[in-house]
Structure 1
Amino acid sequence: MTATTSRDGRATACEDAPGSRRGLGSVLLCAAWAGLLWATAAQAHDEPRRQWAPAIAEAASAAAALPAPEVLPGAKARLAQVQIHGVVVGRQASSRQGDETLVDHAFSERGRGDRLRARWTLDARGLPLRYEAEGHDYWKAPLAERFDRVDGQARWKNRVEQGRVAWPEAGAFYLPANPPPEFNGVLARALLKAPGQRLALLPAGEASLTKGPTITAGGRRLTLHLIAGIDFTPVPVWLDEQLQTAAVIDDWFEVLAPADLRLLDRLKAAQREADRRWAADLARRLTHVPRGDLLIRHARLFDPRDGVAREDMRVLVRGGFILRVEPDDAGPAPAEAEVIDAAGRFLMPGLWDVHQHFSGTDGLFDLIAGVTSARDMANDNQPLIERVQRFDAGTELGPRVVKAGIVEGVGPLAGPTDMRVETLEQARRAVDWYADRGYAQIKLYSSFKPELVRPIADLAHARGLRVSGHVPAFMRAQAFVEAGADEIQHLNFIVLNFFPEVADTRGPDRYTVMAEKLLQLDLDSAPVTGFIAELRRRHTVLDPTVAILEGLYSGAPGQPPAALKGLVERFPPIVRRRLLSGAVAVPPGREEAYRQALPRLLQLIKRLHDGGVTLMPGTDAFAGYTLHRELELYVRAGIPNAEVLRLATLTPAQVLGVAGQRGEIAPGQQADMVLLDGDPLTDIAALRQVVRTIKAGRVFDPSQLEAALGMTR
């Protein structure tokens, strides 16, 4: 993927950078940064993306408007650009003088993004002697971090922890809580020097290194290095022939020099192949395929059709489908059938999560949590199609997936996708592209033109696709559904329907301003009750994602999100630290409004449900476990437990057109079930006690899956 900018954008980057220094070094660096963006323009040769060039140019100009990066005096900067789905959103500048390295990393997308300046020195083994950083995170929460080694002691402090240990004789590598991408290369180089390519990590854990393939082109030789121990899966970093960091790439993010853009597709393909091998090996080891029929005996079976759990039931599965459901008469099992004795445990249909964006280990965490069906609500399209095919084939672990394709407008705050639309003809091509590839709906995003909503809804409906999305900026939720939207993502857009003064919802205001507006919203007022009635009359569906809003309003930077409390402590140490953040920094004087935001949202959820609006639970956050929290919040709002279980099983199957295939435990249905060691009808938190997940008759042990990801019990 590539990006482009204009000569005007290049000049503006230098002239309008706020707070930029005007010394000679700054001018040269600004010119170099402008040249980096202009070089990127020369790479814009991918014909399918030409129609999005104006939008990409705007995004590149927005990235160029970031403050000029700092460099060490007298040093030359190595510049890399930061891309999201091929669109330039920022940069990373690395400079070195003597033993000291300075990295200035910044990106901006949709009004959010990191800004970090980090300095460090290393010893002869490549291990940090000193590290210090300051800046802010993706949600603009301030961060500062320091590590040093003094008198045989290693000391560190950051916003999630502080510690001191005796420096181990064998050495150790301090991995910062919020490092810039370049630090992956620092760790890779240290591992190359370490015995056996293994290193102890501070504050805890161990990293190891393996080499992947080498990509050669135009005199460049880049080698893939895979670092295990710092995430659930091996982390890729590309080093060049001088062992300098050439690229850090994941499903969402790309950091590399413009000169290496011509290699990007090959680098990504090599990483995807490494990921596929890892996932396929895990699937082979952790999928249990019964030798013949599968019989589940003595289960307490929940039926979402009537909300009743029936005692001592048996379920017979053959070939991935449910053959019989009947009272267990203690008779013999069919010949050669494998038997799971539920021993009175709670058996229910597999859960749905209708708002995910699959990457990495999301599919694994879904199966751990009992999620056997999901909907992807926007992704990098071809990799998603291939991933879903692997899920279905069993060569990668994950649920069944309904695909929703994103369609966005243009502009500097447009979402990270290449499916951008300015005209009706482009809208027609986008709808046809998704319909021809088996997508079930389209999702409109925040920069989409309001005047195109009705035409694209007609085009989508004519192809049998549903229409949902964010309510586009400068449009209200009521107008969105009147124009043909079948569904709305995120509860905050319902709230903002009643505050037209919050017109531009493309940036963080759609979250932050809403917290301050909620207390002004009279839930018994005629506008609110009337709109709820209109949503019911139109059968408009709502995907609320309350759990992620809870994390934004009720959390605190440096603390785990509520959905992961009690779980983060079981994650690998380095992963754990990265998840101890994510809340919006509360503006001074707004503490009470933020404290009241979640209770108010839960009151609104209850009004919507009682008013007959169909709710479908989705997360848009950490896969699997966050769905449990979403459902706990529905119960906290006052929705009965049995009804919440129906919303998480049968309702999505009905709305998304697969009722009769899944959503129930009944003859002829696909054998997707979850066995729980608890009763969610009396305590919804029992959903977290998954004993077995069954998808298409194949059996998964969540404890084995968690152990494979480095989690502890």
Structure 2
Amino acid sequence: MKLSHRRSAWRILAATAVSWAALALPSAWAETVRYNVVAGGENVGWMVVDREQDEVRIDYHVDNNGRGPKHKEHLVLDAQGYPTLWTIDGTSLFGGAINERFERTGDRVRWTSQADSGEAPVSAGRLYVANDASPWSLALYANALSDAPQQTLDVAPGGRITLTEVRRLPLKGGTVNAVVYRLTGLNLAPSYLLLDDKGDLIGGLGGLIREDLAEEEPALRRLQAELETQRIREIQSRFAQAFDAPVRFRNVRIFQPETGDLSPLSEVTVFGDRIATILPETGGPRRADVYEIDGEGGTLVPGLHDMHAHNNTQSGLNYLLAGVTSTRDMGNDNARLIDLIGEIERGELPGPRIVRNGMLEGRSPYSVRTGFLADTLEEALEAVRWYADHGYWQLKIYNSLHPEWVAPVAAEAHRLGLGVTGHVPAFVTPDQALASGYDEISHINQLMLGWLLEPGEDSRTPLRLTAMARGATLDMDSERVQRTIRTMVEQKSALDVTAVTLETLMMSRAGEIPPMAAAFIDNMPIGYQRYRRRAFVDINTPEADAAYRGGFQKILETIKRLHDAGVTLLPGTDDTLGLTVHREMELFTLAGLTPAEALTASTLTPERYMGRDQDLGSIARGKMADFFLVPGDPTQDINAIRAIRLVMKGGAAYQPAEIYPEMGIRPFASGVTIHAPAQPTKRTETADTPSALFGPEGLEGHYH
């Protein structure tokens, strides 16, 4: 039963003077429902919902990997289930303060949140979408939408949300009838939830489940993956363009990462999934036997890399539309990642080329539940062997791995041909990690904590982020700093930078557009815009504000010092948006690298690092056709990479201007016109195929 129906029933009963006690049905009017929050198959939090008549009180608490939202909510609902009062108090993911208020009085609604404050007439949006709500809010929205025309509503503070019934699903041997719904318009990706036949929340697909149905959570998580896969497959089938003849890009310049220059105006022809020819632009007429695209003097840029990704079904589309054609996955659901890569490689789903790194964590109160969680050294070593047997490229060590395990785990990884990267475990310094076998360090803060933490301080907690404010007073010429840089140079160690992640955490302020999103936030859905206008850590004094700003400037200075010393810098985001890869490159330039150096670091450098530069990383004859087209010159202004007109990955073309509206995003550039050949040719096993053109193993026998 919908909440509004319950309240109506209560008023009818009250009017007939039937006493509450005489009803003997208190659970219908006052009840407590408990939910588990699940990650990696383990409970990492709870949600407790107390409901009585028109009031709802919620206690939401998540503690996963030393972080998570923790807050309490109070709602007063009207007879139709809309909130007239909604307060949320507590902390967000990394400890930022939440004091959100919504109230409806008369014909006005007013709100204050981390992101914004304002008021509007009720007619502009009677339903308020909260900025920091618990998952219970999904049921609130769904019940309101169930009575709305076309199950769509305009909402405050802006935007429109839509409810779609996906399927009916019996649970617990058929004793519970669940309905799966999809909510769109809240953010970039849809939200999935389950309601019972009374309209009450059962859970959200992917981590929340009513306590009495806990055994259903693994199956529901798989269902979420299935539903999202179906949705993205449909987008892939509609918008990914394959070609049955060569594709010629005319009137383009090519970014050449080896030199940092642009080529003269050129013609680039792609056949199948490889670049067939690169010739000087002749200005001649269109050819009748090829697909042809006029680049109008724009620039072809090799596909970008995100060297710190956690791929999922949705992220593949995000990456491609941002020109990111390769990622390195730094920890995931191992089985799902292998399946996802197969679906992408078969062309069933859009997505980048994915290099797999396997995450290894040790058991502690702060453990992350991704990859393998080891209770003993032998379990840790077995995890390393599993990753090696399944073709992973590197091992990623995480915060809670026991310090004494680092050296034997790294040695086993090296014995089996795996590289070693990761966080620096708690109570271990970066210098010690490098001496124990690390080839690379993940995140610039994990490197700099070795200069900022005191012995005994625990980096498994949010201190690994908040301590970066101490960097404001760091002496970059101190022996402590210089020793680490010398070690990295001597050992040829790399740094997976993820500066954009640190900027998000250190430079975001409540109610302000964060620098990391300034270039694209106005193009995004209202839910994403509000999510970004928040503080992720508690910055409540001018002194704290100055410390975080000064600390981030030291991060930029560290990037430049490492670059000048010759340390390999790998751009990454620890995000799934794709667009943040552009900001990571921009931060490289703010640190002092030239735009061309930032472009090289994001194209050819990762492929050389991973040993794939014979096939990828630059635009050259015989290489894979992974590149994108922009109208400007990114060697002069790195922001030119944001205006992407077309992306090609392995010979399939995507036009962001066509696809972004499907995701609620306003495109950043217009698309291109693709002129089809007058007489299409079909690919057959003749002398025109790539294998015949380039030899049995590719060009000069080196490509495969």
- TM class by shorter chain equals 0.7 to 0.9
CA separation of 1:188 and 1:360: change in aligned 2, threshold 3 A: farther
Q: Which residue, out of 647, 659, 665, partners 1:711?
A: 665
Render the CA deviation track for 1:613-654: whole Å, top value 9, x for unaligned. 100100113521111111111111111222221111111001
Q: Which residue, out of 529, 540, 563, partners 2:493?
A: 540
Match of residue 40 from structure 2: 85
Q: 1:291 touches 1:336 (CA, 8 Å); kept in 2? A: no
Match of residue 297 from structure 1: 250
Shift of 1:411: 0.5
Q: 1:298 touches 1:311 (CA, 8 Å); kept in 2? A: no
The one-letter amino acid of 1:348's match is V
Q: 1:561 touches 1:582 (CA, 8 Å); kept in 2? A: no
Match of residue 177 from structure 2: 221
The one-letter amino acid of 2:583's match is R
CA separation in 2, counterparts of 1:378 and 1:174? 36
1:174 aligns with 2:128: yes
Render the CA deviation track for 1:508-559: whole Å, top value 9, x for unaligned. 111212321x244322233433321221121111011111111222221333
CA separation of 1:438 and 1:560: change in aligned 2, threshold 3 A: farther
CA separation in 2, counterparts of 1:606 and 1:160? 33
CA separation in 2, counterparts of 1:224 and 1:82? 18
Q: Which residue, out of 587, 601, 604, partners 1:647?
A: 601
1:669 aligns with 2:629: no
CA separation of 1:156 and 1:493: change in aligned 2, threshold 3 A: closer
Shift of 1:79: 0.8
CA separation in 2, counterparts of 1:450 and 1:295? 55
Q: SS of 1:247's equivalent?
A: strand
CA separation in 2, counterparts of 1:543 and 1:687? 21
CA separation in 1, counterparts of 2:554 and 2:118? 39
CA separation in 2, counterparts of 1:648 and 1:310? 18
Match of residue 53 from structure 1: none
CA separation in 2, counterparts of 1:489 and 1:548? 12
Q: Sequence identity, in percent?
A: 34
For residues 460-479 of structure 1, the aligned pairs below 5 Å read: 460-479=413-432
Q: SS of 2:424's equivalent?
A: coil
Range with greater deviation from structure 2 (150-159 or 367-376): 150-159
Match of residue 675 from structure 2: none
Shift of 1:334: 6.0
Q: 1:146 touches 1:156 (CA, 8 Å); kept in 2? A: yes
Render the CA deviation track for 1:202-253: whole Å, top value 9, x for unaligned. 2222222222231332312222111122122321011123221001133xxx
Shift of 1:439: 1.6
Q: 2:310 touches 2:576 (CA, 8 Å); kept in 1? A: no
Render the CA deviation track for 1:670-709: whole Å, top value 9, x for unaligned. 1000111111111111111212111001111122221111
Q: SS of 2:61's equivalent?
A: strand
Match of residue 131 from structure 1: 86
CA separation in 2, counterparts of 1:325 and 1:613? 33
- What number of residue pairs does the alignment pair up? 636
CA separation of 1:591 and 1:564: change in aligned 2, threshold 3 A: closer
CA separation in 1, counterparts of 2:532 and 2:558? 29
Shift of 1:328: 2.3
Match of residue 373 from structure 1: 326
Shift of 1:375: 0.9
Match of residue 354 from structure 1: 307
1:210 aligns with 2:164: yes
Q: Which residue, out of 297, 301, 309, partners 1:344?
A: 297
For residues 309-324 of structure 1, the aligned pairs below 5 Å read: 309-324=262-277
Match of residue 699 from structure 1: 653
The one-letter amino acid of 1:369's match is A
CA separation in 1, counterparts of 2:126 and 2:527? 14
Match of residue 239 from structure 1: 195
For residues 391-410 of structure 1, the aligned pairs below 5 Å read: 391-410=344-363
**Structure 1 residues without counterparts, runs of 5 or longer:** 1-71
Shift of 1:291: 3.0
CA separation in 2, counterparts of 1:439 and 1:418? 12
Render the CA deviation track for 1:255-299: whole Å, top value 9, x for unaligned. 212321221222222222211111011111111112311111121
Q: 1:544 touches 1:616 (CA, 8 Å); kept in 2? A: yes
Match of residue 391 from structure 2: 438
For residues 610-625 of structure 1, the aligned pairs below 5 Å read: 610-625=564-579
Shift of 1:587: 5.5
CA separation in 1, counterparts of 2:634 and 2:192? 40
Shift of 1:360: 5.1
For residues 145-164 of structure 1, the aligned pairs below 5 Å read: 145-164=100-119
Runs of 4+ in 1 over 4 A off after TM superposition: 331-335
C-alpha RMSD over aligned residues: 2.0
The one-letter amino acid of 2:653's match is V
1:248 aligns with 2:177: no
1:260 aligns with 2:216: no
For residues 362-511 of structure 1, the aligned pairs below 5 Å read: 362-417=315-370, 419-499=372-452, 501-502=454-455, 503-511=457-465
Match of residue 64 from structure 2: 109
CA separation of 1:653 and 1:545: change in aligned 2, threshold 3 A: same
CA separation of 1:321 and 1:115: change in aligned 2, threshold 3 A: same
Q: 2:115 touches 2:532 (CA, 8 Å); kept in 1? A: no
Q: 1:677 touches 1:689 (CA, 8 Å); kept in 2? A: yes
Shift of 1:491: 0.9
**Structure 2 residues without counterparts, runs of 5 or longer:** 1-26, 668-704
CA separation in 1, counterparts of 2:97 and 2:30? 28
CA separation in 2, counterparts of 1:524 and 1:130? 55
CA separation of 1:498 and 1:153: change in aligned 2, threshold 3 A: closer
CA separation in 1, counterparts of 2:594 and 2:425? 33
Q: 1:476 touches 1:500 (CA, 8 Å); kept in 2? A: no
The one-letter amino acid of 1:222's match is A
